[in-house]
Amino acid sequence: MDRIKVGIVGGTGYTGVELLRLLARHPHAQLVAITSRKEAGMPVADMFPSLRGHTDVRFTTPDAAPLADCDVVFFATPHGVAMQQARDLLAADVRVIDLAADFRLRDTATFAHWYGMPHACPDLLAQAAYGLPELNRDAIRAARLVANPGCYPTTIQIGFAPLLRAGGLVDTGHLIAACASGVSGAGRKAELGLLFAEASDNFKAYGVTGHRHGPEIDQELRRIAGLADDDTTLRCLFTPHLAPMIRGMHSTLYARLTAAGQQADLQALYETAYRGETFVDVLPAGSAPDTRSVRGANVLRVAVHKPAPDTAMILVVQDNLTKGAAGQAVQNMNLLFDLPETAGLEIPALLP
């Protein structure tokens, strides 16, 4: 088949360079445009020496970039950018994958509350497929607009999905997610709390009074459980933490088991749920995954525990920049163009 012509809006941040790294080795993709107003004219490899010899593309201004000639455009931009440009691209028969939050939340009032801006194209929300392939593959294949999930929501949904889909195994009003991410999750920016002397040798919670991934998590867990969007019987108490590492994410999830759940074989439940899923690795019983086992790889590793008769504990790790962002976006692109889902993503983790 002809190579897929790819454009990237943004691309100077950590998610952008991760996307470039993966696309540079993709057998069916050709990067034809990447935008940056500030860096227009600069070779991508000058900003990211890790890509020397892998791409000769230069940054261009958004106005000069041939985005309408692309087959797919990724938005590796701050929230609010994709929704300003998506309509024109879709009209030009370009497929759009947004790595920000513009099309994740179905309720526009919720979006405005958490992201501080009105939604620019609410009519497109019904067209957007939520891009978590392991849970929403058919909808993604049929879509032209994909909302790439948040990094924390990815681990939480994969972790809770088998319990919720089984029905009747857990009390959905008492789900807990204690999650930690490396500092790259905050983006490539100068900020006091992200300085080496502040983040290194330190561990702290943040967003404890509410985090904007919270509504996304609840919305999608309701969908997984077969509940209506306005059903308040499901609630996930989510607390993010900043870990003193560059990349990686660890989520510890708890659910209160019902009488039926206490009798269930949870290990078998998870192994069956993710059998055949290349990018979800259910570890043997008793395991405890670590973040370095997924560094640079598009994979989640999951361990299932039952620390008390009425409690399920699920441990999930991923690379927040790969499966948590750019790798998942490439996985979605593969689905959109009927490619093997693993194309360009069969990369083992980096160790040490």
- In CATH, what number is assigned to the domain containing residue 94? 3.40.50.720
Computed from CA positions of residues 314, 317, 321, 323, in that sequence, does the dihedral angle turn out positive or negative? negative
User: Does residue 97 share a domain with residue 133?
Assistant: yes
d(C-alpha 44, C-alpha 31), whole Å: 11
Indicate whether 284 and 204 sit together in one domain.
yes
Contacts of 268 (CB under 8 A, 6+ apart): none
Q: Do both 166 and 283 map to the same domain? A: yes
Contacts for 26 with CB less than 8 Å, ≥ 6 apart: 330, 343, 344
Q: How far is Cα 67 from Cα 8, in angstroms, rounded to an integer?
A: 8
- Which residues, at least 6 apart from 183, have a Cβ–Cβ distance to it below 8 Å? 194, 199, 242, 243, 244, 245, 246
In the predicted model, what is the mean pLDDT of residues 142-166?
Answer: 98
DSSP reduced 3-state for 331: helix
Residue 27: band (very low, low, confident or very high) from pLDDT cuts 50, 70, 90: very high
Residue 164 lies inside a defined structural domain of this protein? yes
**Per-residue pLDDT, 112:** 97
Confidence grade of residue 37 (pLDDT, cut at 50, 70, 90): confident
Of 104, 115, 109, the closest CA to residue 80 belongs to: 115
Mean of the pLDDT values across residues 121-148?
Answer: 97
User: Which of the following is catalytic: 70, 151, 179, 236?
Assistant: 151
Confidence at 197, pLDDT banded by 50, 70, 90: confident
Percent of the chain exceeding pLDDT 90 equals 89
Written as one string, the DSSP assignment of 244-300 is: SSSS-EEEEEEEEE-HHHHHS-HHHHHHHHTTT-TTEEEPPTT----GGGGTTSS-E
Q: Report if residue 121 sits inside a domain.
A: yes
Q: Are 309 and 82 in contact (CB under 8 A)?
A: no
10-24, 44-58, 263-277, range with greatest mean pLDDT = 263-277
pLDDT of residue 11: 85
Q: Are 318 and 250 in contact (CB under 8 A)?
A: no
Lowest mean pLDDT among 71-85, 190-204, 233-247, 332-346: 190-204
The answer to whether residues 189 and 115 belong to one domain is: no
Q: Are residues 59 and 190 in the same domain?
A: no
DSSP state of 206: -
pLDDT, residue 186, reads 78
Q: In this structure, is residue 248 part of a structural domain?
A: yes
Contacts of 15 (CB under 8 A, 6+ apart): 76, 99, 187, 321, 325, 326
First-to-final CA distance of the chain: 37
Place of tokens 């900003």: 47
In a domain, 348, yes or no: no
Answer whether residue 342 is part of any domain: no
User: What does the pLDDT read at residue 92?
Assistant: 97
Shared-domain flag, residues 68 and 183: no
Per the domain annotation, does 82 fall within a domain? yes
Co-location of 180 and 300 in the same domain: yes
Average pLDDT for 220-240: 95
Question: Which pLDDT does position 26 carry in this prediction?
Answer: 96
Domain shared by 110 and 161, yes or no: no
Domain span including residue 215: 152-320
**What is the Cα–Cα distance from 258 to 165, expressed in whole angstroms?**
14
CA–CA gap between residue 149 and residue 50 (Å, rounded):
26
Establish if 352 belongs to a structural domain.
no
Separation of alpha carbons 226 and 307, rounded Å = 27
Q: Are residues 175 and 214 in the same domain?
A: yes
179 given a catalytic annotation: no
Whether the pLDDT of residue 195 is over 90: the answer is no
- 345 occurs within a structural domain: no
pLDDT for residue 114: 96
| Structural domain total, the chain | 2
Binned at pLDDT 50, 70 and 90, residue 1 comes out as low
Q: Is the dihedral of CA 127, 131, 137, 140 positive or negative?
A: positive
> Per-residue pLDDT averaged across 31-44, rounded?
92
Q: How far apart are CA 190 and CA 272, in angstroms?
A: 44
Same domain, 159 and 209: yes
* pTM exceeds cut of 0.85: yes
Q: Per-residue pLDDT averaged across 223-245, rounded?
A: 95
Using DSSP, state whether 130 is helix, strand or coil: strand
Shared-domain flag, residues 205 and 125: no
Asked if 88 and 122 sit in the same domain, the reply is yes
